[in-house]
Structure 1
Amino acid sequence: MRITQKIAEYNDKTHPFYTFEFFPPKTDQGFENLLPRISRLASLEPLAINVTWGAGGSTKERSLELAAITQTQHGIDTILHLTCTNMEQGMVDDALTNAKARGIHNILALRGDPPRGEEYWIPTDPRFTYGVDLVSYIRSSPEFSSEFCVGVAAYPDGHPDRETDDDGELEHLKAKVDAGADFIITQLFYDVDGFLQWMKKVRSKGIQIPIIPGIMPIQTYASFLRMTKLCGTRVPPHLMSDLVLLRHDDQKIKDYGVDLAVKMIKRLTAESDIRGIHLCTLNLEKSVTRVLGSLAWIGGSSKPMNQLIADVPSGPESQFVITPHNATDSATNSLVVSGPIAEGEVGKGELNNAATWDDFPNGRFGDFKSPAYGETDLWGSSIMSRHQTLEQWGHPTTTSDLTNMFLRHLHSKIATTPFSPTPLSLESLIIIQHLERLTRKGWWTVGSQPAINGASSSDEIVGWGPRGGYVYQKPFVEFFADAADLKKIEKKVEEEGYGWVDYFAGNVQGECRTNVPEGGRNAVTWGVFPGQEVTQSTIIERESFLSWKDEAFSIWAEWASFYPPNSQERILLERIRNERWLISIVHHDYMKPSALWTFLVDGETLV
Structure 2
Amino acid sequence: MERSGPTVVGEVADRPRRRRTRPSGIARRQPRHPALQSVLSRPRFEVLPTPGVEAQVITELPTDATVTVTASPRQGITATVDLAIGLAGRGVHAVPHLSARLIPDTSVLRRIIGDLEDAGIDEVFVIGGDPTEPVGEFGSALDLLSAMRTIGHRFTIGIAGYPEPHPRIADDLTIQAMWDKRREASYIVSQLCFDPKLLTSWIRRVRRRGVQLPILIGVAGPADVAKLLRIGRRIGVGGSARLLSHHTGLLRVARPGSWRPDGLLGDLEPAFADPSHGLTGVHIYTFNALRAAERWRREMLQQNGADPP
Provide Cα deviations, 1:491-520, integer angstroms capped at 9, x if missing partner.
Answer: xxxxxxxxxxxxxxxxxxxxxxxxxxxxxx
Change (3 A) 1:169 1:13: closer
Equivalent residues in 2 for 1:344-355, closer than 5 Å: none
Supply the distance in 2 between the matched residues of 1:285 and 1:107 (Cα, whole angstroms): 21
Are residue 69 (structure 1) and residue 86 (structure 2) matched? yes
Q: 1:125 aligns with which of 136, 143, 146?
A: 136
Are residue 42 (structure 1) and residue 42 (structure 2) matched? no
Query: For residue 263 of structure 1, what is the aligned residue in structure 2?
Result: 266
One-letter amino acid matched to 1:20: F
Equivalent residues in 2 for 1:425-440, closer than 5 Å: none
- TM-score, scaled relative to structure 2: 0.75
Which structure has the greater CA radius of gyration?
1
CA contact (8 A) 2:195 2:264 kept: no
Q: 2:201 aligns with which of 193, 197, 205?
A: 197
Change (3 A) 1:134 1:177: same
Secondary structure (helix, strand or coil) at the match of 2:125 reads strand
One-letter amino acid matched to 1:226: R
1:219 offset after TM fit, Å? Answer: 1.1
Provide Cα deviations, 1:75-121, integer angstroms capped at 9, x if missing partner.
Answer: 232211011215333322222221112111111111113344xxxxx
- Where do 5+ consecutive residues of structure 1 fail to align? 1-11, 26-30, 117-122, 301-607
CA contact (8 A) 1:53 1:81 kept: yes
CA contact (8 A) 2:232 2:241 kept: no
Alignment RMSD, CA only? 3.0
CA contact (8 A) 2:101 2:128 kept: yes
Query: For residue 97 of structure 2, what is the aligned residue in structure 1?
Result: 81
Query: For residue 25 of structure 2, what is the aligned residue in structure 1?
Result: none
Secondary structure (helix, strand or coil) at the match of 2:167 reads coil
1:297 offset after TM fit, Å? Answer: 5.3
Supply the distance in 1 between the matched residues of 2:295 and 2:256 (Cα, whole angstroms): 14
1:54 offset after TM fit, Å? Answer: 2.0
Supply the distance in 2 between the matched residues of 1:36 and 1:191 (Cα, whole angstroms): 33
Change (3 A) 1:258 1:153: closer
Query: For residue 29 of structure 2, what is the aligned residue in structure 1?
Result: none
- Where do 5+ consecutive residues of structure 2 fail to align? 1-34
CA contact (8 A) 1:160 1:230 kept: no
Query: For residue 219 of structure 1, what is the aligned residue in structure 2?
Result: 223
Change (3 A) 1:19 1:264: farther
Supply the distance in 2 between the matched residues of 1:13 and 1:129 (Cα, whole angstroms): 37
Q: 1:296 aligns with which of 281, 296, 301?
A: 301
One-letter amino acid matched to 2:86: I
Query: For residue 139 of structure 1, what is the aligned residue in structure 2?
Result: 149
Equivalent residues in 2 for 1:155-166, closer than 5 Å: 155-162=162-169, 164=170, 166=171
Change (3 A) 1:13 1:184: closer
Supply the distance in 1 between the matched residues of 2:124 and 2:209 (Cα, whole angstroms): 24
Are residue 167 (structure 1) and residue 207 (structure 2) matched? no
1:61 offset after TM fit, Å? Answer: 3.3
Change (3 A) 1:218 1:241: farther
1:132 offset after TM fit, Å? Answer: 0.4
Equivalent residues in 2 for 1:177-326, closer than 5 Å: 177-178=182-183, 180-233=184-237, 234-235=239-240, 239-243=244-248, 252-254=256-258, 256-264=259-267, 266-271=269-274, 272-296=277-301
Change (3 A) 1:160 1:286: same
Higher relative contact order (CA 8 A, sep 6+): 2
The alignment of Structure 1 onto Structure 2 pairs a total of residues equal to 263
CA contact (8 A) 1:110 1:131 kept: yes
One-letter amino acid matched to 2:72: G
Query: For residue 324 of structure 1, what is the aligned residue in structure 2?
Result: none
Change (3 A) 1:226 1:274: same
Change (3 A) 1:210 1:297: farther
Provide Cα deviations, 1:517-542, integer angstroms capped at 9, x if missing partner.
Answer: xxxxxxxxxxxxxxxxxxxxxxxxxx
Supply the distance in 1 between the matched residues of 2:123 and 2:243 (Cα, whole angstroms): 38
One-letter amino acid matched to 1:170: I
Query: For residue 154 of structure 1, what is the aligned residue in structure 2?
Result: 161
Provide Cα deviations, 1:4-61, integer angstroms capped at 9, x if missing partner.
Answer: xxxxxxxx99522331111111xxxxx23x2332123432632x210112238x4333
Query: For residue 523 of structure 1, what is the aligned residue in structure 2?
Result: none
Q: Which runs of 4+ in 1 moved over 6 A?
A: none
Equivalent residues in 2 for 1:80-99, closer than 5 Å: 80-89=96-105, 90-99=107-116
1:236 offset after TM fit, Å? Answer: 6.8
Change (3 A) 1:239 1:86: closer
Supply the distance in 1 between the matched residues of 2:108 and 2:293 (Cα, whole angstroms): 33
One-letter amino acid matched to 2:55: P
1:149 offset after TM fit, Å? Answer: 1.3
- TM-score, scaled relative to structure 1: 0.40
